[in-house]
């Protein structure tokens, strides 16, 4: 099981492995009891653990960095029932957290998620983004093409613009005349017969 496949599902406790996604939801497996279930996207939202960031006093950090700090602390995890001990624990482990914007419920989730990751022996690491490899020659060609396009635009702008002649304006008039002629060609409606 990989860290990149793990999701948090709103309305469901704990972490889940994303098995398959569909148009109307996803099939997920719980890390706690290994039960597989379908979670509808109408009711639930899915957040990949890799995409979750935590508020700090500086720039936001990825959740992985907080988990690394918890790993380095080597102390026992705090009891999730007491908000003050959890806050003291995170003040010691990761003091840069912005405790005005990171609520005690969020801190509890981080502790519970860390426990379930360790229980299931999941390596905590971000997946490396796949870079598209382009040969250097193609990159150089693209750079050369861009200035050429600009030059051709300048040449077009420098050319004097032609004035519209009456010949160019006539087609519009002809179509207007055709419409009038079509109206004349149609037989006129006969008046309705009078009743006696």
Q: pLDDT digits over 39-58, tens only?
A: 999 999 999 999 999 999 99
Q: In angstroms, what CA-CA distances link 138 with 42, 52, 134, 135, 149? A: 45, 36, 7, 6, 17
Q: At 21, which CATH number? A: 2.30.30
Domain count, the chain: 2
Which helix (H) or strand (E) is 180 found in, with range?
helix 166-185
Model confidence over 175-186: pLDDT tens digits? 555 555 555 566
pLDDT tens per residue across span 128-162:
765 555 545 444 444 445 554 445 454 445 555 54
Last residue of a domain, one of 125, 142, 170: 125
Q: State whether 121 and 69 are in the same domain.
A: yes
Domain interval for residue 46: 1-51
């Amino acid at each position: 099981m990989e860290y990149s496949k793990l999701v948090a599902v709103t309305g469901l406790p704990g972490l889940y492995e994303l098995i398959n996604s569909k148009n109307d939801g996803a099939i997920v497996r719980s890390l706690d009891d290994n039960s597989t279930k379908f979670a509808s996207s109408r009711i639930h939202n899915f957040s990949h653990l890799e995409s979750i960031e935590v508020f700090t006093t500086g720039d936001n950090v990825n959740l992985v960095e907080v988990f690394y700090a918890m790993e380095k602390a080597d102390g026992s995890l705090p009891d999730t029932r007491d908000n003050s001990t959890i806050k003291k624990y995170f003040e010691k482990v990761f003091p840069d957290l912005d405790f005005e914007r990171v609520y005690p419920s969020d801190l509890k989730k981080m502790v519970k998620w860390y426990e379930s990751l360790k229980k299931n022996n999941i390596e905590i690491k971000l997946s490396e983004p796949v870079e598209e490899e382009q040969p250097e020659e193609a990159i150089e060609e693209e750079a050369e093409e861009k200035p050429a396009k600009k030059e051709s635009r300048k040449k077009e702008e420098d050319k004097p613009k032609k004035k519209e002649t009456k010949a160019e304006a006539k087609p519009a008039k002809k179509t207007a005349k055709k419409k009038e002629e079509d109206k004349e060609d149609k037989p006129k409606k006969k008046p309705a017969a009078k009743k006696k």
